[in-house]
């Protein structure tokens, strides 16, 4: 039995919780709806296997009526209204315990620009960036001058509050910039333009209210870019877990991930994404408060490497559910 597994044995859900009705909330109306449905279905099936009284709730179907019937909400609602503090606020008001981070942590973490500002204040290494907000039009000539001054090329252009690499483009020169900006602006009126760091892509999953880091995963997409297809298509990406790093670097990355989780006031579960450059500088570029739980998802892979089965992982997350006022 792994040391991490031993730490979580005492968190396993008590039998009396099996008499409660667990509402798995997934789907919704965000651009990540389809992935949310897959995540929710996996969690729902797991709860049934473990003997829980679970129901599947899609917020587009009589949501408020069905919500009144549940004792605990297991959130699997990716993207807008699910990861941004909206559903968390509703559940707080209704007095229903729920999984994952609270209102503040959710709202901060989904905002990539705000997260990066906090990382900088906490002396956590993150790529240089500029922020762009669409108001009365966008002057590309001014944006290009700003890029020359602050980041240079290549850069990654992202919507500020989207996940699953939706609306994201890698830009190598001025001629590609306008189309990348327009693509990102389809999803958000604020965008993040971030210095592209070439290196190894790593991720660290965090679980527990006294946060514990699971083994580091190295992500090796066969296409060279970990985009939507590479994330959710089986066989498109190779995963190395635990990542092949020396002990000192491993310890530093794990400590940094926990520091990020705490800095953004996250609870219960998160995933912190890094790029490790050729000089072993570990840049944090994002934290996700509601990681996927599909067959290709990263948190279950990290948990498995620590000796934690998918069903036990679901129970651990459920046991951490509480009001997050």
Selected catalytic residue, list 106, 292, 315, 319: 292
**Phi/psi of residue 159, nearest 5 degrees:** -65, 145
Selected catalytic residue, list 232, 270, 315, 319: 232
Alpha helices in 170-294 (DSSP H): 174-185, 228-232, 247-263
232 is catalytic: yes
164 is catalytic: yes
**Phi/psi of residue 280, nearest 5 degrees:** 65, 30
Neighbouring-strand partners of residue 264: none
Selected catalytic residue, list 201, 273, 315, 319: 273
Q: Is the peptide bond before 154 cis (omega within 30 degrees of 0)?
A: yes
Selected catalytic residue, list 271, 283, 315, 319: 271
271 is catalytic: yes
Selected catalytic residue, list 32, 58, 83, 201: 32
66 is catalytic: no
288 is catalytic: yes
251 is catalytic: no
**Strand blocks (E) in 58-134:** 72-76, 129-133
User: For residues 244 and 228, what is the distance between their CA atoms, to the nearest angstrom?
Assistant: 25
Q: Which long-range contacts (CB under 8 A, 24 or more apart) does 11-15 make?
A: 11/208, 11/316, 11/319, 11/320, 12/312, 12/315, 12/316, 12/319, 13/315, 13/318, 13/319, 14/319
Question: Hey, which residues are catalytic here?
Answer: 32, 164, 232, 271, 273, 286, 288, 292
């Amino acid at each position: 039995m792994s040391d991490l597994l031993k730490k979580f044995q005492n968190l396993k859900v008590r039998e009396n919780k099996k008499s409660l009705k667990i509402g798995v909330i997934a789907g919704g109306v965000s651009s990540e709806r389809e992935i949310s449905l897959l995540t929710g279905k996996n969690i729902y099936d797991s709860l049934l296997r473990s003997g829980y009284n679970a129901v599947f709730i899609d917020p587009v179907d009589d949501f408020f009526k069905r919500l009144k019937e549940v004792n605990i909400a297991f959130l699997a609602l990716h993207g807008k209204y699910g990861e941004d503090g909206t559903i968390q606020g509703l559940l707080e008001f209704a007095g229903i315990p729920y999984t994952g981070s609270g209102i503040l942590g959710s709202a901060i973490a989904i905002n990539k620009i705000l997260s990066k500002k906090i990382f900088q204040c906490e002396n956590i290494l993150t790529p240089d960036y500029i922020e762009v907000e669409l108001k009365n039009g966008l002057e590309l000539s001014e944006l290009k001058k700003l890029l020359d001054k602050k980041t240079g090329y290549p850069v990654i252009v992202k919507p500020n509050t989207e996940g699953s690499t939706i609306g994201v483009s890698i830009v190598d020169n001025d001629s590609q910039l306008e189309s990348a900006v327009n693509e990102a602006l389809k999803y958000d009126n604020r965008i993040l333009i971030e210095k592209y760091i070439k290196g190894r892509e790593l991720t660290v999953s965090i679980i527990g209210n006294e946060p514990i880091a699971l083994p580091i995963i190295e992500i090796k997409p066969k296409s060279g870019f970990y985009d939507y297809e590479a994330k959710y298509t089986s066989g498109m990406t190779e995963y190395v877990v635990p990542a092949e790093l020396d002990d000192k670097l491993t310890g530093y990355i794990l400590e940094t991930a926990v520091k990020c989780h705490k800095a953004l006031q996250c609870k219960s579960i998160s995933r912190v994404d890094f790029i490790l450059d050729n000089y072993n500088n570990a840049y944090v570029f994002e934290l996700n408060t509601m990681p996927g739980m599909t067959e290709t998802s990263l948190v279950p892979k990290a948990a498995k490497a620590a000796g934690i089965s998918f069903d036990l992982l679901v129970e651990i997350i459920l046991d951490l559910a509480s009001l997050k006022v």
